[in-house]
Amino acid sequence: MAQRIISLVPSLTELLFDLGLANQIVGRTKFCIHPAELIPSVPIIGGTKTVKIDKIRELEPDIIIANKEENEQSQIELLSSQFNVLLTEIETLRDALNAINNIGIATNRNVESEDIIKKLSGIHQTLAIPIEQKPTILYFIWHAPAMIAGNNTYINDFCDNLGLNNLGVLFPGRYPKIEPHDFQNVPDPEFVLLSSEPFPFKEKHLKHYMQLFPNSRILLVDGEVFSWYGTRLLKRIDYLKTLKEQYFR
């Protein structure tokens, strides 16, 4: 059983706490912020892409939880040569549930992980009620340069399961950088979603996107709900239900 765990992935750090592993978590990134009441006691080992290797060595972990997209390949390769690294690759909801299962097995929390998987599966089934006509969206993750969520991303799969038609898949790449002229041959989205992370979109950004998309509804959305693939959704299900009922129906 893993007695000393380091997580390099914010959403999976929260998952580890929800699996009942608080006493075994010995390291996390500065972006691991949940659960807020417990996380401050866990030592920081850098950022998701700026891991302090020496600090990790000092902590002597039994296992390191990492992610192919969120962490730097060169650092993960180095850590893998010295430690047991569980590298997740998550592009779909199914991938997320598989990762939770694998982490449960690796940390001897099979029963707890199976319970979480069951709850998340139930939520996804509830939210996946067919919509007569899928609303079209663009999901912005960054500002200046403008970047959107595209193909082969967890965000796109999450939106699809929610009943939203992500126009970001019409552009090449997973997170395309786009300019205003790129939309000349693309229909106006019904909704433009401005995420709270990784770029912290605020009220002050609304005017800019209203000018870019005068025929669209511009919404600020909780990026943790759309992009965190651990247990965050279990705490924010009411938010997502309200969002869907108020706008996407």
How are beta strands 191-195 and 217-221 bridged, if at all? parallel
Average pLDDT over the chain, rounded to an integer: 94
Segment 192-209 mean pLDDT: 97
Residue 130 lies in a domain: no
**Cα–Cα separations (whole angstroms), residue 147 to 153, 173, 195:** 13, 11, 11
Same domain membership, residue 154 and residue 67: no
Rounded to an integer, the average pLDDT of 187-194 is 95
Please give the biggest Cα pair distance in the chain.
56
| pLDDT digits 0-9 by tens, 214-237 | 999 999 999 999 999 999 999 999
Residue whose C-alpha is closest to residue 75's, from 56, 100, 88, 94:
56
Residue ranges with strand state E in the chain:
5-7, 25-28, 63-67, 85-88, 136-142, 147-148, 165-166, 191-195, 217-221
**Does the structure show a pLDDT above 80 at 128?**
no
- For residue 208, give its domain range: 136-246
Structural tokens at position 193: 């979603």
In this prediction, residues 183-203 reach a mean pLDDT of 93
Chosen domain end from 101, 125, 149: 125
Residue 46 sits in the same domain as residue 152: no
Domain end position, chosen among 95, 125, 155: 125
User: Tell me, what's the pLDDT at 182?
Assistant: 85
Q: How many domains, the chain?
A: 2
Indicate whether this model's pTM tops 0.85. yes
User: Do residues 64 and 25 share a domain?
Assistant: yes
Mean pLDDT of 4-28: 98
- Structure tokens belonging to residue 82: 């010295």
State the burial class of residue 90 (Cβ atoms within 10 Å of its Cβ: 0-12, 13-18, 19+).
buried
Statement to judge: residues 62 and 170 lie in one domain:
no
Strand partners, 221: 195
Do the domain assignments include residue 231?
yes
- Give the model's pLDDT for residue 131: 63
Residue with tokens 């759309």: 226
What the block records as the tokens of 54 is 């020496």
Confidence class of residue 129 from pLDDT cuts 50, 70 and 90? low
Q: Is 80 found in the same domain as 13?
A: yes
pLDDT the model gives residue 1: 67
Asked whether residue 112 is domain-assigned, the answer is yes
Q: What is the CATH number of the domain that holds 140?
A: 3.40.50.1980
Domain finish residue from 125, 152, 187: 125
